[in-house]
Chain A
């Protein structure tokens, strides 16, 4: 585990987020977020669901523009790039979606081949080798001819991972890669993330709230809550943190600084009332 804090690694940052503000309508999601992902490292972004982790990834990949602040990827300011610029950045990125997001009308093989066909003219034989190599890496070479509907959740996510790495990206982004997996599939994904990182030197950003899995693979973790980074450091540092919010998150207590309840009116009044004067946001 690296000891240096994020700031020391800033020269090597592949992704650098500064003073990020973002909201849906009047609802603030980010209120000044600073975050970095160092080259060749696995950076974890943790936080209770609904804090905006997926939204953060959408900002990094240039799908949405922030209200204020800067998002730098590969040294280029995403917020000022035009579509062509964003697309050229994305060619160096791979992303694993929460649900895999495989193209349902293409076979597993064609799904993995999809970005290659879109961006390179390879002879069919070379393409086949490339795709089968990646499928082999995630252990699904035998499933090449299956359709996405014939895959289990864990298999779909591994195929999606093969697709994310087929173009040999410099930056891999994982959105909730462990959610809803059985322990074996989970172990496979955890190992894959670490192996890809170590073997290929890929910079990785992993969004998750599975503290234990992250601890085994992350070099540096950020804890998001209430639109801000409330803590960051190595998993060991976070584990040792005295901050109550970190303690609650790391040990999984249901209530604490991170409220269990979504903001609501008085419980008794709500139950006993006729529901007409329920406060609506």
Chain B
């Protein structure tokens, strides 16, 4: 069991190294990478913004309800900003990414495997790791932090909407306390997390697709595995990074 897990981690790690050897596609084939940033990022934008708004609004309601018990509802801005920047933004975006972009990466690559497209490339002496996998992995890694940033800004807007417009928290207090309490380190923690989640979720998605059994059922299974593994991995990495950041 432990041996299996270790060897699996090892395989994924080796796969990552093999793919990243083709990181040069960013320069040699920028179009392909742009295409994948579009697929992973731009096409997830609407769902990310929608969810960011709702998460922010919920934060506004819950945060207000919690803080007014201590008469500290002015701290709502801080609570919402830190909650979004450090946790909810990166984690929720990563989970949505796994469901939206990750599944489509896996099924796309898996179907290319099932219909011999990857093999055909190999026979044409074109490495599918370079042509297919690397642009998708890099596109996902680039897209994730940008999606998280958009999610956070929209989420703050949602929290402000509920907290200030509906619950009547003072605008000045909302922003000034936020600006007073939020450190650049908090923002950086969120960026580091979103980058790590981007690597993890994109890597799992392309790995599962690339190694899918070349059948309809195999591609379906791989897609499911992408969601499950990405989600668990996201939360696990989140815990490790949080502990590391708090421990500094």
Judged by CB atoms under 8 Å, the answer to whether A and B touch is yes
Specify which chain A residues have a CB less than 8 angstroms from the CB of B123 in the assembled complex: 61, 63, 90, 93-95
* Distance from A189 Cβ to chain B, minimum over Cβ atoms (Å): 18
Question: Is B126 positioned at the interface, with any CB of A under 8 Å from its CB?
Answer: yes
Partner of A99, one of B112, B115, B125: B115
Interface residues of A in 112-141 (CB under 8 A from B): 114-115, 118-119
* Distance from A25 Cβ to chain B, minimum over Cβ atoms (Å): 15
In the bound complex, do residue A102 and residue B124 qualify as a contact, i.e. CB atoms below 8 Å apart? no
Partner of A101, one of B116, B125, B126: B116
Question: Is A74 positioned at the interface, with any CB of B under 8 Å from its CB?
Answer: no
Q: How many residues of B contact A (CB 8 A)?
A: 15
In the bound complex, do residue A99 and residue B116 qualify as a contact, i.e. CB atoms below 8 Å apart? yes
Question: Is B117 positioned at the interface, with any CB of A under 8 Å from its CB?
Answer: yes
Specify which chain B residues have a CB less than 8 angstroms from the CB of A102 in the assembled complex: 117, 120
The CA-CA distance from A204 to B25 in the complex, in Å, is 35
Question: Is B65 positioned at the interface, with any CB of A under 8 Å from its CB?
Answer: no
* Distance from A66 Cβ to chain B, minimum over Cβ atoms (Å): 18
Chain A residue nearest to B131 in the complex (CB): A118
In the bound complex, do residue B122 and residue A63 qualify as a contact, i.e. CB atoms below 8 Å apart? yes
Interface residues of B in 130-155 (CB under 8 A from A): 131
Specify which chain B residues have a CB less than 8 angstroms from the CB of A95 in the assembled complex: 120, 123
Specify which chain A residues have a CB less than 8 angstroms from the CB of B121 in the assembled complex: 103
In the bound complex, do residue B126 and residue A115 qualify as a contact, i.e. CB atoms below 8 Å apart? yes
In the bound complex, do residue A97 and residue B125 qualify as a contact, i.e. CB atoms below 8 Å apart? no
In the bound complex, do residue A104 and residue B124 qualify as a contact, i.e. CB atoms below 8 Å apart? no
**Main SS of chain B's interface residues?**
helix
The CA-CA distance from A61 to B124 in the complex, in Å, is 10
The CA-CA distance from A104 to B108 in the complex, in Å, is 10
Chain A residue nearest to B35 in the complex (CB): A105
A104-B115, A118-B131 known; A90 and B120 CB under 8 Å? Answer: no
Specify which chain B residues have a CB less than 8 angstroms from the CB of A115 in the assembled complex: 124-126
Partner of B125, one of A87, A103, A104, A160: A87
* Distance from B209 Cβ to chain A, minimum over Cβ atoms (Å): 14
Specify which chain A residues have a CB less than 8 angstroms from the CB of B111 in the assembled complex: 104
Specify which chain A residues have a CB less than 8 angstroms from the CB of B116 in the assembled complex: 97-99, 101
Specify which chain A residues have a CB less than 8 angstroms from the CB of B176 in the assembled complex: none
The CA-CA distance from A103 to B125 in the complex, in Å, is 15
In the bound complex, do residue A97 and residue B119 qualify as a contact, i.e. CB atoms below 8 Å apart? yes
Query: What are 7 A-B contacts defined by CB distance under 8 Å?
Result: A102-B120, A103-B117, A114-B124, A118-B124, A118-B131, A119-B125, A160-B120
Query: Which residues of B are at the interface with A, using a C-beta cutoff of 8 A?
Result: 111-112, 115-117, 119-127, 131
Query: Which residues of A are at the interface with B, using a C-beta cutoff of 8 A?
Result: 61, 63, 87-88, 90-91, 93-95, 97-99, 101-104, 114-115, 118-119, 160, 163, 167
